[in-house]
Amino acid sequence: MEPIEWWYTAGHLMGSSTDTQYSYMLSYFYYPGYGYDGFRILNLSNDNTGQFFSETVAVNYDVMAEDSLNIVALTMGGITESWANKTGMDDKIIPFEYNLSAEAVNGAIALEYEAEKPPLILADDGHFNLGEKSYTYYYSLTESKVTGTLTFDQVTEDVTGTAWIDRQYGSFNPLTEEDYEWFFIQLSNDMDLNIYSLFTRDRQLPDTATYKHMSVYVDSMTQYTTHDFDIERLAFHYMADSDMCYAQKWRLTSSQNDIDLVITTLNSDSEVQLPFRFFEGPTTIAGTVIGLPVTGMGFAELLHSYERPELAITYPAGERWTSSRAISWDIENPDDGRSLWYDLEYSINEKETFNTIIRGLQEPFFYWIDPPITTGSNCWFRLTAYSTDSTLTNAVVSATSSIYDPNLTSVDKTTADKRNADLFDIFPNPAEDILFLDLKEGSTFKNYLIIDIFGRTITEQEIYPNHRIQINVNHLPPGLYFIGLYSGSDLTLSKFLVR
């Protein structure tokens, strides 16, 4: 046995009597402790109303076969549940066909499965590293036809639908390892996707194979695993106690098969409370694959919770300030999954009123060119940061006022210019058609950005050390721009003009 194992299934059902749309998730975990072999989670949802039930109970396994899927679990409440391969008249196993039954306080399922597709083998051979130090073995049955009965809030009816099955085991433990967002997707073009996006413990999303997995079932002859995809979080939602906040809408893009999908949770409050808090619920999908429109359905399992941004204005920070240096700020709880926009305001009447400087910035700085204030004005600044949908928002006012002095020479700026000159050159400056970027020996920059004065990223490209990069700027309107170079999470900026 591996340190932790689990059997997972989830699906979408239609009630034959009421035409109610239901979804469900059932998982059995082998995770010995406290006198039990593991635990079971059963979720049931009425997707017409959003009503959601979840129950987690400790179980002992009377049967846990190693040569087939055959689980018999006795819950701590004394209920016997089972999930097993079907057998034929000769008592031989029928591959990928199952009977399962489970019962909770507020509902129950008794279902028959018949797989309609062969297994999707993740990472080609079913074994891959997951997160910083763990591994997993994994396969999915991406589509099974389902029939049976479902009881929801004391109403029992026949149901039909489709389901997904995951079999997973290894050292990766959802209770203790890195947070993640996981999805299964069943598309109308018959493609199925299994997607992992893991966060580090400091809320980074590394662009590496151990933190990004997408396995795709194309057809009975074609499946593949790729790490070349991006996920943009588009909306968030706080749970009722305002403690946990989960993403609720995503845009998934991948160059392979030209995938461009929007994933949206069907219900916003499908949170499991035990053995820890996480979100598990049905999703709808719409978008394109190879340029053709598709729709779909699936599930999202979300262990990553988002926080409101914590802000600190770093310049100006009291005494005198000059517009030749950028107003800048830090995000003290960065999160790669939480894109932020910024609104910047100022006050010259002791914070009685604030006036807009700029809205919708994307970078954490702004050069305020020719501010409409007089020399010696006593200024306060207010910064508001917010997510795409404004669910995650916060504002901060500078800790103290600063006196505007346009003739002030910034020591910090002079030092930064000298440091930048030691690492890279940009020329000609001003530029008309082409800007050249020369990286000096020893620089560790991995990519560059062209940013306009509104903090909008116009271009982002990967770069290679000790190379001269030619950047086409003839499409840019005349004016002031910034070239930003990233080394890890550190951003180094330099100004240039286009004329």
Residue 419 has pLDDT above 80, yes or no: no
- Are residues 125 and 87 part of one domain? yes
Query: Smallest Cα–Cα separation from 9: which of 94, 93, 81?
Result: 81
- Are residues 438 and 381 part of one domain? no
- Are residues 239 and 122 part of one domain? yes
- Are residues 329 and 276 part of one domain? no
- Are residues 80 and 175 part of one domain? yes
Residue 456 — very low, low, confident or very high, per pLDDT cuts 50/70/90? confident
Residue 416 — very low, low, confident or very high, per pLDDT cuts 50/70/90? very low
CATH number for the domain including 194? 2.40.370.10
Residue 492 — very low, low, confident or very high, per pLDDT cuts 50/70/90? confident
pLDDT at position 106: 95
Residue 455 has pLDDT above 80, yes or no: no
- Are residues 280 and 382 part of one domain? no
Residue 415 has pLDDT above 50, yes or no: no
Residue 374 has pLDDT above 90, yes or no: yes
- Are residues 78 and 161 part of one domain? yes
Q: How do residues 246-259 score in pLDDT, each as one tens digit?
A: 999 999 999 999 99
pLDDT at position 379: 97
pLDDT at position 457: 85
pLDDT at position 424: 87
Q: How do residues 2-41 score in pLDDT, each as one tens digit?
A: 999 999 999 999 999 999 999 999 999 999 999 999 999 9
Domain endpoint, select from 404, 435, 458: 404
- Are residues 427 and 366 part of one domain? no
Query: Smallest Cα–Cα separation from 280: which of 45, 481, 49, 72?
Result: 45
Residue 411 has pLDDT above 50, yes or no: no
pLDDT at position 188: 98
- Are residues 444 and 351 part of one domain? no
Residue 238 has pLDDT above 90, yes or no: yes
Residue 413 has pLDDT above 70, yes or no: no
Contacts of 448 (CB under 8 A, 6+ apart): 437, 460, 461, 463, 469, 471, 483, 484, 485, 486
pLDDT at position 420: 59
Residue 468 — very low, low, confident or very high, per pLDDT cuts 50/70/90? confident
pLDDT at position 418: 45
Q: How do residues 44-103 score in pLDDT, each as one tens digit?
A: 999 999 999 999 999 999 999 989 999 999 999 999 999 999 999 999 999 999 999 999
Number of domains, the chain: 3
Report the 3 state secondary structure along the chain: CCCEEEEEEEEEEEECCCCCEEEEEEEEEEEEECCEEEEEEEEEEECCCCEEEEEEEEEEEEEECCCCCEEEEEECCCCEEEEEEEECCCCCEEEEEEEEEEEECCEEEEEEEEECCCCEECCCCCEEEECCCEEEEEEEEEEEEEEEEEEECCEEEEEEEEEEEEEEEECCCCCCCCCEEEEEEEECCCCEEEEEEECCCCCCCCCCCCCEEEEEEEECCEEEEECCCEEEEEEEEECCCCCCEEEEEEEEEECHHHEEEEEEECCCCCEECCCCCEEEEEEEEEEEECCEEEEEEEEEEECCCCCCCCEEEEECCCCEECCCCCEEEEECCCCCCCCCEEEEEEECCCCCCCEEEEEEECCCEECCCCCCCCCCCEEEEEEEEECCCCCCEEEEECCCCEEECCCCCCHHHHHHHHHHHHHEEEECCCECCEEEEEECCCCCCCEEEEEECCCCEEEEEECCCCCEEEEECCCCCCEEEEEEEEECCEEEEEEEEEC
Q: How do residues 166-186 score in pLDDT, each as one tens digit?
A: 999 999 999 999 999 999 999
pLDDT > 70 fraction of the chain, expressed in percent and rounded: 96
Rounded CA separation 330/323 (Å): 18
CATH number for the domain including 363? 2.60.40.10
For residues 332-351, give the mean pLDDT.
Answer: 97
pLDDT > 90 fraction of the chain, expressed in percent and rounded: 84
β-strand pairing of 365-366 with 327-331: antiparallel
Rounded CA separation 350/169 (Å): 61
Domain endpoint, select from 254, 277, 302: 302
pLDDT at position 421: 60
Residue 261 has pLDDT above 80, yes or no: yes
- Are residues 396 and 320 part of one domain? yes
CATH number for the domain including 491? 2.60.40.3080
- Are residues 476 and 365 part of one domain? no
Boundaries of domain holding 129 = 4-302
- Are residues 277 and 185 part of one domain? yes
Cis peptide upstream of residue 371 (ω within 30 degrees of 0): no
pLDDT at position 487: 78
Domain endpoint, select from 302, 334, 369: 302
Average pLDDT value over all residues in the chain: 94
